[in-house]
Amino acid sequence: MRSIKYLALLLVLSVFLSGCASSLANFGTGKATIGGGYVTTTHKNLLALPPPEQKIVVAVYKFRDQSGQYKPNSNAVSFSTAVTQGATSVLIKALEDSGWFVPIERESLPNLLTERKIVRQTREGFLTEAQKKTTEILPPLMYAAILLEGGIISYDTNLVTSGVGAKYLGIGGSTQIRSDQLSIYLRAISVKNGVVIKSVYTSKTLLSRQLDFGMFAFVGYQALLEAEAGLSTNEPTHMCVLEAVEKAVFDLVVEGVLSGLWKLKDPKDMDSKAIKNYIKERKEVEVKYDKEGGVKEVKESVVKKEVIK
């Protein structure tokens, strides 16, 4: 009877180990997959925004990690940053996907100016006078009406840690969960007067999970069986930055519409699902406390500011 019991345990353990091995193979050393990118729910909402009356030309000089956080490492000092340093590229892609903005190149402005200088010098040195008259003049660079600033402000680790486990006769397992959070601020500045016309804040939670299983038992006289297996998954930090940035762009568009900073192509689109869902979400988040400590709803305020058309 005892041998049957341990045979059953060995069967369960073999199935578990094979499943973990398969998952680890696909997770770490499996075949690489190529796709069109990570599509989030926030990205779908961004694409669902109603069209603008006129696209807004915006410039982004720098939108990077300002948290100063390094990757957590319990064994040694790590100088690798906790979040991506390419958030500017993520923001520009989100601005383009929204259909509301025309982003112009500013992060690599020195390279752009150098290339334009090479074009002018080449034309001056190698074209004849007749060719210069027929060659199209290099147009001036486009200027922006809005300057976007901000960055990844914070990256907080181990906000929530929890776990559960159980063992019986040397056989058992455990699971652990950890929650981190990153925060992003994005503000729109009028180039005409330098006024911050709108500022938005978003945050995203990162989840990490770890599963362990172990077996420690005597299967016979002086025969000891010991086995361990485990699996851990971590939400990619880059994907969380992508979701937070896309949410910030979405909030900036809708907040600008509600504040009268920019207009919809069709005023009837104020009743669109995207804007209605945002208004509902904002009412659930924006609250204040009365004198008794109770929560009451914040009244919406409309602010209009002048920007470059």
Q: Residue 292 carries which DSSP code? A: T
Q: Residue 61 carries which DSSP code? A: S
Q: Where are the beta strands (DSSP E) in the chain?
A: 56-60, 64-65, 101-104, 146-168, 171-190, 196-220, 223-234, 287-289, 295-297
Where in the chain are the domains? 2-28+40-106+144-285
Rounded mean pLDDT of 277-304?
59
For the beta carbon of residue 236, count every other beta carbon within 10 angstroms.
11
Q: Residue 180 half-sphere exposure, CB side, CA atoms within 13 Å? A: 19
DSSP, residue by residue, 66-128: -S--B---SSS---SBSS-S-HHHHHHHHHHHHTSEEEE--TTHHHHHHHHHHHHHHHHHHS-
Q: Which pLDDT does position 19 carry in this prediction?
A: 52
CA 300 from chain centre, in angstroms, equals 28
**Range ranked top by mean pLDDT from 35-39, 93-97, 221-225:** 93-97
φ, ψ of residue 270 in degrees (nearest 5):
-60, -25
Q: Residue 49 carries which DSSP code? A: S
Say whether domain 2-28+40-106+144-285 belongs to CATH 3.90.660.10: no
Q: What percent of the chain stands above pLDDT 70?
A: 76
Q: Which pLDDT does position 309 carry in this prediction?
A: 43
pLDDT in tens, 60-83: 998 888 777 776 665 655 566 777
pLDDT in tens, 21-57: 454 444 444 444 455 566 777 888 898 899 999 999 9
Q: Which pLDDT does position 7 carry in this prediction?
A: 54
Report helix angle 87-98 to 237-259, nearest 10. 50
Rounded mean pLDDT of 157-177?
83
Nearest to 40 by CA among 241, 223, 215, 273: 241
- For residue 13, pLDDT over 70 is answered with no
In this prediction, residue 286 has a pLDDT band, given cuts at 50, 70 and 90, of: low
pLDDT in tens, 180-216: 888 999 999 999 999 999 999 998 888 888 888 887 7
In this prediction, residue 154 has a pLDDT band, given cuts at 50, 70 and 90, of: confident
Q: Which pLDDT does position 115 carry in this prediction?
A: 92
Q: Residue 223 carries which DSSP code? A: E
* Least confidently predicted of 110-114, 129-133, 302-306: 302-306
- For residue 290, pLDDT over 90 is answered with no
